[in-house]
Chain A
Amino acid sequence: MHDAAVLPVTPTPLDPRVLRTWRLASLLGMLFVAPIVTALARWRDVPWAWSIAIALGVAFAIALVECWRDGLRYRRWRWHVDDIAVVLARGGIVRHVTTVPRFRLQHVDISRGPLEMRYGLATLTLHVAGSGEIEVPGLPVDLAEAARDALVRSLHAQWMREQGEETAART
Chain B
Amino acid sequence: MTEPTDALDLRARADATALRRLPRAALVIGLLDTIRTTALPLVLGGAARLRDGVSLTDAALAGTAMLVLGAIAWIRWRSMRWGLLDGRLVVHRGVVEKSRREIPLVRIVGVQVEEPLSWRLLGLARLRVQTASGAGDDATIDAVPRADVATLVGTLTAHAPHTGDVLVDAVVDREADAHAGPVVADALDARLGTASAARSIVLHRASVADLALAGLTGGALAGIGAILALFGRILDDLGLDRRVVEWIGERGTPFVDTIGRDAMLLVVTAVALGLLLISLPLAALLSIVRNGDLVVTRERGAIVRRAGLLNRTERRSPADAVQGIRLIASPVRRLVDGAALRIVTAAPTTDDDDDDEASGTLELVPLVRGEARVHLARALFPAAGALLQSPWRRIGVARVALLRAVITVVLAIAVIGAAWRLLPTRWAGVVWLALPPVIVACALHVDGRRRTAIAPDGDGTLIGVSWGSIVRTSAIVDAATTQCLVRSAGPLQRRAGLCSLSISLADGDDIDVPDVPLDEADALERRLRAATTRVLTGSARRPRTTS
Chain A interface (Cβ within 8 Å of chain B)? 83-85, 91, 93-104, 106, 128-131, 134, 158, 161-162, 165
- 29 cross-chain CB contacts under 8 A: A84-B532, A84-B533, A93-B491, A94-B491, A95-B488, A96-B486, A96-B487, A98-B484, A98-B485, A98-B486, A98-B487, A99-B484, A99-B487, A99-B525, A101-B483, A101-B484, A101-B528, A102-B536, A103-B535, A106-B546, A106-B547, A129-B134, A129-B346, A129-B483, A129-B508, A129-B545, A130-B483, A130-B546, A131-B484
Residues of B within 8 A of A95 (CB): 488-489, 494
Residues of B within 8 A of A158 (CB): 536
Residues of B within 8 A of A165 (CB): 538
Residues of A within 8 A of B547 (CB): 106, 129
Q: How far is the CB of B498 from chain A (nearest CB, A)?
A: 12
**How far is B528's CA from A97's CA once the two chains are assembled, in angstroms?**
14
**How far is B535's CA from A103's CA once the two chains are assembled, in angstroms?**
9
B536 and A130 contacting across the interface, CB-CB below 8 Å: no
Number of A-B residue pairs having CB atoms within 8 Å of each other in the complex: 84
A83 and B505 contacting across the interface, CB-CB below 8 Å: no
Known: A101-B483, A102-B536, A130-B483. 18 other contacts (CB 8 A): A84-B536, A93-B490, A95-B494, A97-B487, A98-B486, A98-B487, A99-B487, A100-B484, A104-B483, A106-B546, A106-B547, A128-B484, A129-B546, A130-B508, A131-B504, A131-B508, A131-B510, A134-B484
**Does B513 belong to the interface (CB within 8 Å)?**
no
Within 8 A of A (CB), among B518-547: 525, 528-529, 532-533, 535-536, 538, 542, 545-547
Chain B interface (Cβ within 8 Å of chain A)? 134, 346, 360, 482-491, 494, 504-510, 525, 528-529, 532-533, 535-536, 538, 542, 545-547
**How far is B485's CA from A165's CA once the two chains are assembled, in angstroms?**
28
B482 and A104 contacting across the interface, CB-CB below 8 Å: yes
**How far is B17's CA from A164's CA once the two chains are assembled, in angstroms?**
39
Residues of A within 8 A of B529 (CB): 84-85, 99
A94 and B488 contacting across the interface, CB-CB below 8 Å: yes
Query: Which residue of chain B lies nearest to A96 when distances are taken between CB atoms in the complex?
Result: B488
* Cross-interface CB contact of A130 among B485, B491, B505, B533, cutoff 8 Å: B505
Q: How far is the CB of B135 from chain A (nearest CB, A)?
A: 11
Residues of B within 8 A of A101 (CB): 482-484, 528, 532
Query: Which residue of chain A lies nearest to B360 when distances are taken between CB atoms in the complex?
Result: A130
Residues of A within 8 A of B505 (CB): 130
**How far is B483's CA from A84's CA once the two chains are assembled, in angstroms?**
13
Of the listed residues B483, B488, B509, B510, the one surrounded by the most CB atoms of chain A closer than 10 A to its CB is B483
Q: How far is the CB of B511 from chain A (nearest CB, A)?
A: 11
Residues of B within 8 A of A91 (CB): 488
Residues of B within 8 A of A161 (CB): 538
Q: How far is the CB of A160 from chain B (nearest CB, A)?
A: 13
A129 and B536 contacting across the interface, CB-CB below 8 Å: no
B484 and A103 contacting across the interface, CB-CB below 8 Å: no
Residues of B within 8 A of A106 (CB): 546-547
